[in-house]
Homo-oligomer: A and B are copies of this chain.
Amino acid sequence: MMTAGALLRAMQRIRAFEEALAGRPDHGFQLFSMGQEAVAVGVAAALGADDQLLTSGRSIAAALARGVDAGAIMAELLGKEAGTNRGRGGRGHLAQPAAGFFGAHAVVGGNLTIAAGVALALATRGRGIAACMFGDGACGAGALHETLNVAAVWRLPLLLVCDNNGYSISTPQAMALAPQPLAALAQPFRIPAVTVDGMDVEAVREAAVALAARIRNGEGPAFLECRSARFATHSTSTRETRAADELAADRARDPIVAQARRMQARGELDAARLAAWDEEARVAAVAALAFADAAAYPASGSVLEDVQ
């Protein structure tokens, strides 16, 4: 069980990583998770070595939370051969199955049926569960329905995690999706579903651990909706559409600040320790960036490798 401090530090590392990358607009656009760190960290805290995590294209937080090496992720995002995917996947396709991060897939909803298949393979092997993170936008896709149904009929060890930041690019959830809450989508399939505050890392962790336990217990799939908020624009090349006050209200719910405050209130953390952890995270991010910058691009002659 990860401690409150470990949860906080994992979020700090993600934030620092993305801030370091954000300072470097010289590598095409990126899909940041700022504000949504608690979802990735809380879910990853419920997963073990035999488990696999799949995500949408917004995957930096999940990859780091799952323990994939920061340097390899940064190198991948900068298109370097030293990246997790040898620089072939890039933003939206980060993957390291050997580390339990089966990977991101940039097709909205496109990883859902894949995750059901991964869950089936794990069930056949007899060890591990699959968790799949997707956004609210994916809840409009038929793939979710087909996945919920087969997962329920076959009692697959699958944890479906909706990281609901309330928007699909510029489209607010309510304009595109009738279900309220989105967790209600699981009910017809008699799949247990919970909605939690995605800005509260301990709440996410507890819900994920509880649902994962049921799944490991052979009770079939479960659905976890985490209400989060995206602090940055959809991508670094997308224009912002939300009002300043809405953004300010979101930022006031910063999951990192909230966890730090909570720990301080519980007397588990003092300002000095917090600052030290922040600095540690910053240093790690700078190191990852340095590693990535020093790494080489793939040779153009390798363009036909690993096609078939």
Contact = CB atoms under 8 A, between A and B. Distances in A.
A152 B140 contact: no
Interface residues of A, number: 24
Given A140-B146, A140-B149, A149-B177, A188 B187 contact: yes
Interface string A124-152: 00000000000000001111111011001
Interface in A149-207: 149, 152-153, 175-180, 184-185, 187-191
Interface centre among A152, A177, A191 (most CB of B within 10 A): A177
A172 to B, nearest CB: 12
Interface string A63-92: 000000000000000000000000000000
A180 B190 CA distance: 9
Contacts of A143: 142
Contact of A187 (B142, B145, B184): B184
Contacts of A191: 178
A178 B151 CA distance: 9
Contacts of A177: 149, 153
Contact of A185 (B146, B152, B188): B188
State the copy count for this chain: 2
A176 B154 CA distance: 9
A284 to B, nearest CB: 41
A141 B152 contact: no
A32 to B, nearest CB: 28
Contact of A178 (B153, B176, B184, B185): B153
A152 B176 CA distance: 10
Contacts of A144: 142, 145
Contact of A153 (B141, B145, B176): B176
Nearest to A184: B188
Given A140-B149, A152-B178, A153-B175, 6 more contacts: A140-B146, A145-B145, A153-B178, A178-B188, A178-B190, A180-B190
Interface of A: 140-146, 148-149, 152-153, 175-180, 184-185, 187-191
16 contacts: A141-B142, A141-B145, A141-B146, A142-B142, A142-B145, A145-B146, A149-B177, A149-B178, A153-B175, A153-B176, A178-B190, A178-B191, A180-B190, A184-B187, A185-B188, A187-B187
